[in-house]
Amino acid sequence: MKLATPDILVFVLYFIIVSLYGYWIYQRKKNTHNDSKDFFLAEGSLTWWAIGASLIASNISAEQFIGMSGQAFQLGLGIASYEWMAALTLIIVAVFFMPMYLKNKIYTMPQFLRQRYDGRVATIMAVFWLLLYVLVNLTSIIYLGALSLHNMFGAPFFACALGLVIFAIFITLGGMRVIGYTDVIQVFFLVLGGLATTYVALKLVSTNLGEGHGAWEGLQLLKQRAPDHFHMIFHKGENLVYSGEPSGGLSPTKDPWFDLPGLAVLIGGLWIANLSYWGCNQYITQRALGASLPTARKGLLFAGFLKLLMPVIVVLPGIACYVIFKEANHPEITQGMHQIDAATGQEFIKPDNAYSILLNLLGPGLKGLAFAALTAAIVASLAGKANSISTIYSLDIYKNFFNKEADDRTVVRMGRIVIIVAFAIALLISPALKSLGQGFAYIQEFTGFISPGIVAMFLMGFFWKRANSNGALAATLASIPLSALFKYTVPDMPFMNRMAVVFVICLALIILFGLIDPKTKNNPKALKVEPGMFRLSNGFIVGMLLTMGVLAALYIVYW
């Protein structure tokens, strides 16, 4: 794909706005640049709308634009459950999790584990989170982002990856204040560029399969031509979809129930994944930990509202590409969705190509806007992830084990060094992910190995005073081997159901260790829970009920 002059101008405008705004934010608070709480948390300086926007900008990346659009090509609207159920999860985190963190002055997730359990649990999880964030999350964001830019523009993969990393480093070194406020600009371009791509995709459906009356007609045609792609709840064996792997060839061979196993998306394993990501994840909670409780809650509610919009941006384009691919003889889409496996020479359908193909079909100006949207999503995610890596290492590893007397200036300097080192490691590893299949599915399943133990440990630590460090350690250490055991001994079990089963076992371990230890009857590390902590403002209640009402309507209409 070649960028015309209007496209280049739009992208340059995006780059200049983000860079200058970030620099202005940085210069406004020169006297706080070496304050560790300001650098890592932007303590007290992020508004509710900045927190909400930053949460979305950090969450939406190439894995959603490329991976979720690819799964929408496969599965349809059902994949939107990840976004819509996240909106409800954010409300739960705002109501129940945030009071527990803020009342106890928690700045990092390992700090919470140290206060509630002990140093063993905190250190093990700090090291584990660092490895996960660098080797899986940061690396996969760089890989998927660079791959999408490489596929669109033909530029060398490593050059694309390096460009994204340099831009992200520029923002990240300014600290959480710069990240938080530049994320507002990133979200603006992300939403505007995403909606432009969706509009063009729907209009393309109208042109190829209808009367050419525009996007609204295109949306109606999607429902008519692919009714199976507008169901939220799947039943086992109901229909088959393209697997996205060479072994699938050119025919649908995969049962979508294994990715979205029926009611498990509402009452089962998806809750484990969402609570782990939105409530027990330094990368996400960090945005709100430096704010007051009312501000944090408003920010999380705002993020939940934005989550309702995300499927319009990342799911509808994938469904549109599927309908055109199946129903219209469109040469660019037909050719683009076919891929040949380099090892076997076998041709197969690659769903993850859907979004990149649509971007190639955009007109001058819109391509630049879509390019800016994708870049904004990638860079914001990279900056947020790198800042959380820096925070955990500096506050939970460096200051606790290597330099206990370190002042704020030294800790912030170490944090900036860690940012550069983390990016360098992830950049070098990212080309090794070329064997990655369905990007979004890969990330969800891999993180699902550890989510059950984490959620069990946090929930019991919040609300059961007898939970002790041995039980938390047992749940943490058991989560990965149990997940692997079920994956390979019960291969037909969907990974969402597997997460639910492992979660129940981890809960049982925590309860068992708590009950057999008589000291936990008067556990000094138990958190004090007071009903007043969870009292909500009238404004929050109204916003919460509106969000829940919209969610209920969506599931009723598209059940």
The tens digit of pLDDT for each residue in 224-233 reads 998 989 989 8
Can you give the pLDDT at residue 515? 92
Q: List the one residue out of 168, 125, 129 whose CA is nearest residue 145.
A: 168
Summarize the confidence of residues 374-396 as an average pLDDT: 85
- Topology of domain 5-440 in CATH is Sodium/glucose cotransporter (1.20.1730)
* Minimum mean pLDDT range among 57-66, 160-169, 469-478: 57-66
Note whether 451 and 272 are within 8 A (CB): yes
Helix (H, G, I), strand (E, B) or coil at 536: coil
The tens digit of pLDDT for each residue in 291-319 reads 888 999 999 999 999 999 999 998 999 99
The CA radius of gyration of the chain, in Å to the nearest whole number, is 23
Distances 12 to 8, 47, 153, 438 between C-alpha atoms, Å: 6, 28, 16, 31
With a CB cutoff of 8 Å and minimum separation 6, the contacts of 414 are 393, 394, 398, 406
Can you give the pLDDT at residue 271? 93
SS3 content of the chain, % helix, strand, coil (to 5): 75, 0, 20
Helix (H, G, I), strand (E, B) or coil at 254: strand
Side-chain-side CA neighbours of residue 173 (13 Å): 14
Give the helix ranges, DSSP H, for 60-156: 62, 69-75, 81-92, 98-103, 109-116, 119-132, 139-153
Summarize the confidence of residues 499-526 as an average pLDDT: 90
Q: List the one residue out of 139, 387, 175, 136 whose CA is nearest residue 283.
A: 387
The tens digit of pLDDT for each residue in 426-457 reads 999 888 776 655 454 556 666 778 889 999 99
Q: What angle do CA 258, 261, 262 make, to 5 degrees?
A: 150
DSSP assignments along 302-366, one per residue:
HHHHHHHHHHHHHTHHHHHHHHHHHHS--HHHHHHHEEE-TTT--EEE-GGGHHHHHHHTPPTTH
Q: Which pair of structure tokens corresponds to residue 187? A: 């979200």
The tens digit of pLDDT for each residue in 114-129 reads 988 988 888 988 888 8
Distances 347 to 249, 342, 515 between C-alpha atoms, Å: 6, 9, 57
CA distance 266 to 401: 42
